[in-house]
Chain A
Amino acid sequence: MSGKTHHSKLVLLGDTAVGKSCLVVRFVRDEFFEFQEPTIGAAFLTQTVTLDDATVKFEIWDTAGQERYRSLAPMYYRGASAAVVVYDMTNRESYDGAKSWITELQRRGDPNVILALAGNKVDNEEQRQVPKEEVQEYANENGIVFFETSAKTAQNVRELFVEIANKLPKTEQADEASAFPVTDDVSEEKRGCC
């Protein structure tokens, strides 16, 4: 593994009550439960995925699913390098909503964004309304990462984010802070420093 950490903004989209925040809380808690602040909420969370050749730090932005806030979604997905569109596989309507999110992202978003579909609540198989094969075909046609997930049992949650991390381009960080290290290049200047 290289020591480099790649920061990646990931946005969560989908209708209300499909389990967006549950999904991300499951992903984050599995790894860093002991560092979680219980009062932080789940609208913005970060989580690190360690790959063979790199470390990816996801900065995860949740969006509101209510219709009132739908037109404001571009403020949230602007600059994202990955988008996870979540639907509830026990709710056909939420899948239709997810497809409209995908269409919007393809039309208005950055073409390099990694798109993923998450069919949540797979633990509730008996109430399934959206066949997996249908979504898989749609995902294949559109080049989208697809997993059926369960925030409840953690099924495929980590796999989803690892797959996205693998697909992300590992570009060099060029942000303001990393361009100006604090301690690395000043040793010659230090005299008797503590």
Chain B
Amino acid sequence: MLQEKHANEATARLDQALAAVFADAIAHRRQTQERQRPPSMWRPTVPIADARTLADELLEAAYAQFSGSRRELMVSNKDLEAMVSSRLEGLRTDALQGLLVVFGLPQRPEDPTDAFDKLQMISREFAQSLETKVDEPQVRAFLQIALRGSDDTLDAQLQYAHKVLRGVPHLYVLDQDRRLRFRLGRVAASYVRILVLLYHFKLDVMAEDAVTTALADVVLVVRILTQCIITQFPVLGTAILASSEDERHLDAQPGNRPLNEKASLVCRCVVEEAVAAPLFRGVVAPLYAASEKFLTEDRRIAKAAARIVARGDPHELLRRLQASEDFVLSTCKTPYAAVVEILKQVWDPASPMGSGPTSKARLLVRASRTIPLAISQAGQHGKHEIGADDLLPIFCFATIWSQPRNLASLTHYLEHCVAQSLLTSEAGYALALLQTALQTIPTLDAESSVKI
């Protein structure tokens, strides 16, 4: 009975805390929307005049969801964990995401102390449900990251993160048991999901350069976690490396790259896919969809590519892009089909592969590396090395032929989210190829129109 009472109390506090954050967000929106003209890039999914009503509806829906869950509450800690987790997940995908897209949320709650105390309780309950011993200062530190975020220096944030993650003592004794290692990964991932969830509240889609700012926030979260894993969790880092496929193809020539850099890339990739991919899928896409600028640009490029494809055969297009005659592959009905297929995965936001920026960069590298392979397989051996003179036209062709629907926003996304350390590597080169295609498509389309 006592356990049930505690669970009920925790649920009630969860309701109050999340409602308080929502209320703060909506109040902030109400205060600012009257005086804040939508910037040109903002394309609201509902008229601003209806926003207030929608806010109330969303809040009511959130409350209803909380209440429904509370009635179904089970008493054990395991059940509490599952309940909290599923409700937070439900919030993220439904009401929270709706709020994110429709409203600019405040940089921090108006009254952080109140929300802070209540959210602290959630975290403690959650930690207990995972049978870990996380003490008060550590939970507080965790929440400081979530609630204060970028107001602190990166060093301070890392310190907080380290304190929290170090507060899970059994993480360090699991390194010899693969099952426990798996569990270790789950524990860390759970923490990060909360971190990411709370971090959502900091996104402000109404800011002038909102997309870039929001992306920077998302990237920061992923970066902090990756760094924590690499520096403070050798066991987890080892487990990730052991369970991952070899990622050396990110490098043109492995061998010389320091181990820590390779490990960093692998961890980043794994963290992105395991933890941040839902964030990228759930938040980044709506961010771009809410931007008039990117929406227009994406449509312009997609239409241009569609017109180019509709006008001619693939071999003629390769010639127009100034590909060498050897590499037009006249005998192939659809030249470079394998490259086109890989690029389609890059454009597809729902693709299970390549949701995170590092993974998408990896796919781009794979696409560019498939070009020489395709040439070899077509039996073209006229030139031994495939330099940029040959590669650029073919990559542009494959991009056009794969009919990208989001090329402008995707390029912007990768420019801002791929790790700096990758930008001079082969992944950076592949990104430059993508930028080349982005610039070439409208020019090519315009040339065709003039000819017609």
Give chain A's interface residues, CB within 8 Å of chain B: 5, 7, 9, 12, 16-17, 20-22, 24-25, 32, 35-36, 39-48, 57, 59, 61-66, 68-69, 71-72, 75-76, 79, 175-178, 180-183, 185-186, 189-194
**Distance to closest chain B CB from A193 (angstroms):** 5
Give the residue of B258, B384, B420, B440 whose beta carbon is less than 8 angstroms from that of A68: B440
- Does more than half of chain B's interface fall in helix, strand or loop, or is it mixed? helix
List of A residues within 8 angstroms of B238 by Cβ: 193
- Give residues of chain B (381-405) contacting chain A, Cβ–Cβ below 8 Å: 384-393
Partner pick for A41 among B231, B371, B440, CB 8 A cutoff: B371
B residues 223-260 touching A (CB-CB < 8 Å): 223, 227, 230-232, 234-235, 237-238, 251-253, 255-256, 258-260
Alpha-carbon gap, A138 to B238, bound state (A): 55
Output the least CB separation between B359 and chain A (Å).
Answer: 17
Decide: A175 and B387 in contact? CB cutoff 8 A.
no
Query: Across chains A and B, which 10 residue pairs bring their CB atoms closest together, nearest first?
Result: A21-B387, A42-B385, A41-B386, A62-B388, A177-B261, A177-B264, A175-B421, A44-B429, A64-B392, A41-B372
B432 within 8 A of A: yes
Please tell me if the beta carbons of A192 and B387 are within 8 angstroms of each other in the complex.
Answer: no
CB distance B259 to A183 under 8 Å? yes
The answer to whether A178 touches B261, judged by C-beta atoms less than 8 angstroms apart, is yes
Given A39-B369, A175-B420: A186 touches B264 (CB 8 Å cut-off): no
Given contacts A64-B392, A185-B231, are A41 and B387 in contact (CB under 8 A)?
yes
Task: Answer whether A192 and B234 are a contact pair too, CB < 8 Å, given A42-B386, A64-B389.
Answer: no
Kindly provide the distance from the CB of A35 to the nearest chain B CB, expressed in whole angstroms: 6
- Determine which residue in B173, B253, B384, B436 has the highest number of CB atoms from chain A within 10 A of its CB, and name it: B253
Cβ B256 vs Cβ A5 within 8 A? yes
User: In the complex, are the beta carbons of B389 and A39 less than 8 A apart?
Assistant: no
**What's the nearest-Cβ distance from chain A to residue B428, in Å?**
8
What separation, in Å, do the CA atoms of A46 and B232 have in the docked complex? Answer: 31
15 A–B contacts, CB within 8 A, in A order = A20-B387, A32-B255, A39-B372, A43-B386, A44-B252, A44-B426, A46-B253, A59-B424, A64-B392, A69-B440, A175-B421, A182-B259, A183-B259, A190-B175, A193-B234
Name 11 extra pairs, CB < 8 A, besides A5-B258, A68-B321. A21-B389, A32-B255, A44-B426, A45-B252, A46-B252, A69-B436, A75-B435, A176-B421, A177-B258, A183-B260, A190-B172
- Contact: B432 with A75, CB < 8 Å? yes
Which residues of A lie under 8 Å from residue B423 when comparing CB positions?
A: 79
Do B368 and A43 have beta carbons less than 8 Å apart? Answer: yes
**Interface bits B35-77 vs A (CB < 8 Å: 1, else 0):** 0000000000000000000000000000000000000000000
Which residues of B are interface residues toward A (Cβ below 8 A)?
Answer: 172-173, 175-176, 223, 227, 230-232, 234-235, 237-238, 251-253, 255-256, 258-261, 263-265, 321-322, 368-369, 371-373, 376, 384-393, 419-421, 423-426, 429, 432, 435-436, 439-440, 443
In the bound complex, CA of A5 to CA of B264 (Å): 17
Q: Give A70 to B435 CA distance when docked, in angstroms.
A: 13
C-alpha gap A69/B321 in the complex (Å)? 9
Contact B439 A41 (CB under 8 A): no
Find A193's partner among B175, B371, B388, B439 (CB 8 Å cutoff).
B175
